[in-house]
Amino acid sequence: MILERYRELIDSFDAFLGACDRPLPSVVRVNTLKASVERVERALADTGYEYEQCSWYPELLRLSTDTPGNSWPYVHGWIYGQEEVSALPARVLSPSAGDRVLDTCAAPGSKTTQLAALMDDRGTLIANDANLGRLSALRTNAQRCGVTNLIVNSADAQTLSLAPFGGDPFDHALVDVPCSCEGTIRKNPTALEDWDIDHVRGLAGIQRGILRRAIQATRAGGTVVYSTCTFAPEENEAVLDAVLETESCRIVPFETALDTRPGVTEWNEKTFDRSVEKAQRIYPHLNDTGGFFCAKLEVTGE
């Protein structure tokens, strides 16, 4: 089993494996551009849906149904179906109204629409994705959620030019990169069928390129959040370690009420910069979620 390679990293490994075999809870995020949490809760109750508020993020609701897209609050853009732990990166980035924000790998739009809500739909939000087909889904989701501060762009995030956006650096960048998706196994049981270490290494090269360009495109004092939905250190801590060697940035701690584990500093006889411990790993058995990795970086401009 591929997940066995992580036995030495994960406490309560049997509990971890058990959680990976269970279906993922159905979660929606309240789109505060269109409705308050209280208004959505009333609408869900009137529609007959049972729900439970996520304590660490009040805008997230666990539902009793696996088909929230069939509800009228969804159709009207009041809610967005989003895996619970995937709501962490935008919250860690925490942009303000009026900021210039780059979402490097934005489609199909769950984090993009979340960023827009955190920005109160003000400022400028660049939603970039190299996949034109996926961008159509992003546009549809942004329209449904009432997002208007959005510029949709299609480019390779590793070589993204600032010229189309005025040439000025961004205040913040979200770097939720394509990855091997090991952490999605609860909603996609076939996620590991085509797993291959060479593919992981190839992805890591792309991830390093995207993160480096995002840091270069962000002003000194700005924030870059790096995230994946994989457990592989090759795509997580190793990427951070490589970027720390070449870019003007530092990893900074962040707080969350989720139960997490620190980034690992050693893997397969390789040692990483000690600051990668400030990143946070989330395993399915800790919070009954998918698997995730998140790190917050500050651009120093040195």
| Interior/surface letters 53-83, b for 16+ CB within 10 angstroms, e for the rest | ebebbebbbebebeebeebebbeebbbbbbb
Query: Of 223, 192, 226, 189, nearest to 209 (Cα)?
Result: 226
**SS3 call for 53:** strand
Residue 105 annotated to the active site: no
CB within 8 A of 21, min separation 6: which ones?
none
- CA 23 – CA 235 distance, rounded (Å): 25
d(CA 213, CA 157): 7
- Among residues 20, 145, 179, 229, the one annotated as catalytic is 229
Q: Containing H/E element for 232?
A: none
DSSP structural state of residue 2: G
Work out the burial of residue 184: count CB atoms within 10 Å of its CB; fewer than 13 is exposed, 13-18 middle, 19 or more buried: buried
Two tokens at 138? 């992003």
Q: Which helix (H) or strand (E) holds 239?
A: helix 237-246
Q: 171 φ, ψ to 5°?
A: -75, -35
Q: Which two tokens stand for residue 104?
A: 């490097």
- Give me the active site residues, please: 229
